[in-house]
Amino acid sequence: MTDLLDVHNLTVRFGVRRKGGMFARQTYLTAVDDISFTVRKGETLAIVGESGSGKTTAALAIARLVSGVTSGKVELEGRDILPLDRDDLKDMRQKVQVIFQDPYSSLNPRKRAEDIVREPLDSLTDKSDPEKREIVDQLFKAVGLRPEQKRLFPHQFSGGQRQRIGIARALSTQPEVIICDEPVSALDVAVQAQILNLLRRLQAEYGLTYLFISHDLGVVQHMCDSVAVMYMGKIVEHADRMSLFNKPLHPYTEALLSAVPSVDPRLRENARRILIPGDPPDPLNLPKGCRFASRCPVAAPECRESAPSLDAVTPSHRVACHLVEGETSPLATLSAS
Amino acid sequence: MAPLLKVENLRIELATRAGVAPVIDNLNLELAHGESISFVGESGCGKSMTALAIMGLLPEGIGRVASGSIQFDGEELTTASPRRLRQIRGNEISMIFQEPMTSLNPVYTVGEQIAEVLRAHQGLGQKAAWAQAIELLDAVQIPNPKSRVEAYPFQMSGGQRQRVMIAIALACTPKILIADEPTTALDVTVQAQIFDLLRDLRAQTGTSIIMITHDMGAVAEMSERMIVMYAGRKAEEGPVDQVITHARHPYTSGLISCVPHIMANLTEERHDLTEVPGIVPGLSEFGQDLCLFAPRCPRASDKCLSARPPDVPFGSARSSACWHAEDL
């Protein structure tokens, strides 16, 4: 299969003012630091990480929705979308759509559901009115909303239904890639399942490619084909679904996986909980070595000296850790000795 | 031993535009000394409302205890004076909330906010309260407590703020700590830290914990017993491991199976998640004499729509309010 999305060395920096009254000076916060990955057509790449890891910024940069991209390339079907100007952007925006986290604040409360779904068609395409109406009708059906709900306003819908409106809006321009930014984290558990099933069904039906941003590893495990784990702006591990969940290599990935509370009592007893202490480092004052070193249970002196690069262990598994030897995780080495 | 907390036939009514609705409808529960239980269910099922009723914090003029009783250590709380409730609140029963960002006062240092509780309830002087605030910050594992005590909430991370909330809640070594979704706003690694802290503190102080959550994994990790609530009623109750391995109410099984849980040995195979169709009914539909879960239930029969199912006991510790509980 071909690579639909090809991200090379993407870096996003934001200007921030440091405190200090009249001596305040401008510094930069590197939210996304030199990340590269590819996504094949029809597949789902999940980007996981904790708040502040840069996962949402990376995804929004790929949708050209943040300024501050300082270097890198984002190729969609072989064409770099970062230098595109207004007119070409319209074409690109049809191909890349976003589903947002909060279905309460991402819909205009003063517009009717049908107008919200239709909005991208109005601003990005030159379809005729009857065409648009037909598309909207089909979309309502596809996402499981009833035709008579078209005239309602967002407040008349439940959270799950609102997210369905958001999904219909994202589908309206027949996109290639949909960026799902925490699409279910604002929803109740029972409604989550409805939306996740819908997303998978739509993916199969329309051959969609998803960039799935989430902090919920259970949801990610269910949805993804491959996973990139981010920590403080860097990808620390990137692997196909089976490798990442069955053979995680980076200590941070292992800690993340072991932190998820489990309902299975056997799993709970066997699990060695890897508790990582403290909070992440200050993003304005990053250490020169590995960014995870300050919280890493196995950090060695070299980890504080130089930053590890993201190297391939197998063709579908990359990890950025000095202590990974072959295909053995440093934590496994530690517990064996 | 008599239970520490005993809620009997509790009915709480909420005044809405459409009329009076029973947000809590004939609820019975007990909490033993030193026990940790969880209230589980979707939003709008009455979990937080039950907690607020125990705290005597029902929204004034809107919510009221219509009937039933809440007994804490043998004392009736529903008829207690506001003065007496103030003595109990924060002292013998305290609560931490979901959002540590908004539940701390932004214009006071965290030290002042911890010391305030000690001065109000324990009659400590300014200096003694401050010294103890530092000890408490140390107990909740905030690094450099001596300097951090002067920090304002905005200078702390989300996890640290939740630790401060826990310090405030535990300042007077309460008999009951109510934790309302204490980690929902936090990252998983921080959640693991907070759970560890709560477990340690419970082991040290013997505090009973009521945790409110919708995460079955968190329940399994933190509690011995759980109470599943649906639309203001108790759907199921029992020891956590028993309920998870063999739920006696379709709502409980739905809640467990609709969540994609991390699997130990992942296979290529993937199934659709089990859906619980629909959503929790609105308040106007609460209180009817039928099973309120029936419209979303795969096992619903005519009987479910004709009468409210009673709590059917299974052994001494379990019960389920389902007409089909025996067959499940």
Question: How confident is the model over A109-155, as pLDDT tens digits?
Answer: 999 999 999 999 999 999 999 999 999 999 999 999 999 999 999 99
d(CA B280, CA A218): 23
Smallest Cα distance from B185 to chain A, Å: 10
Q: Are A22 and A114 contained in the same domain?
A: yes
Q: Are A143 and A203 contained in the same domain?
A: yes
Secondary structure percentages of chain A, helix, strand, coil, to 5: 40, 25, 35
d(CA A242, CA B283): 44
Q: Are B302 and B233 contained in the same domain?
A: yes
Q: Are B289 and B145 contained in the same domain?
A: no
Residue A70, pLDDT score: 93
Instruction: Let me know if residue B86 belongs to a domain.
Output: no
- In percent, the amount of chain A with pLDDT more than 90 equals 76
- Which residues in chain A are contacts of B152 at CB distance < 8 A? none
Q: Are B167 and B202 contained in the same domain?
A: no
Residue range(s) defining the domain that contains residue B304: 5-81+187-327
B73: left (phi over 0), alpha (psi -120 to 50) or beta: left
d(CA B110, CA A289): 33
Please give the tally of structural domains in chain B. Answer: 2
CB-CB under 8 Å, A221 with B262:
yes
Structure pTM? 0.90
Residues with Cβ < 8 Å from A86, sequence gap 6 or more?
none
d(CA B251, CA B29): 19
Q: Are A150 and A297 contained in the same domain?
A: no
Cβ A13 vs Cβ A72: under 8 Å: no
Instruction: Let me know if residue A229 belongs to a domain.
Output: no
Residue A262, pLDDT score: 81
Q: Which of A256-260, A277-281, B207-211, B322-326 has the lowest mean pLDDT?
A: A277-281
Q: Are A157 and A260 contained in the same domain?
A: no
Smallest Cα distance from A92 to chain B, Å: 32
Question: How confident is the model over B4-14, as pLDDT tens digits?
Answer: 999 999 999 99
Interface of B with A in 70-89 (CB under 8 A): none
Is pLDDT at B224 greater than 70 in this prediction?
yes
Instruction: Let me know if residue B104 belongs to a domain.
Output: yes
Instruction: Let me know if residue B304 belongs to a domain.
Output: yes
Q: Are A283 and A152 contained in the same domain?
A: no
Instruction: Let me know if residue B116 belongs to a domain.
Output: yes
Mean pLDDT of B141-161: 91
Please give the tally of structural domains in chain A. Answer: 2
Task: For chain B, report the end-to-end CA distance as a whole number of angstroms.
Answer: 33
DSSP B65-109: EEEEEEEETTEESTT--HHHHHHHBTTTEEEE-S-TTTSS-TTS-
d(CA A29, CA A49): 18
Mean pLDDT of B53-62: 92
| Nearest residue, CB atoms, B217 vs list A245, A263, A277 | A263
Q: Are B203 and B74 contained in the same domain?
A: yes
d(CA A53, CA B323): 48
Residues with Cβ < 8 Å from B295, sequence gap 6 or more?
B278, B281
Residue A283, pLDDT score: 87
Residue A276, pLDDT score: 84
Interface of A with B in 72-91 (CB under 8 A): none
Q: Which of A113-127, A194-208, A274-288 has the lowest mean pLDDT?
A: A274-288
d(CA B309, CA B254): 18
pLDDT-based confidence at residue A267 (cuts at 50, 70, 90): low
Is pLDDT at B101 greater than 90 in this prediction?
no
Residues with Cβ < 8 Å from B60, sequence gap 6 or more?
none
Residues with Cβ < 8 Å from B168, sequence gap 6 or more?
B90, B94, B113, B114, B117
Q: Are A279 and A188 contained in the same domain?
A: no
Residue range(s) defining the domain that contains residue A192: 3-224
| Nearest residue, CB atoms, A215 vs list B187, B214, B259 | B187
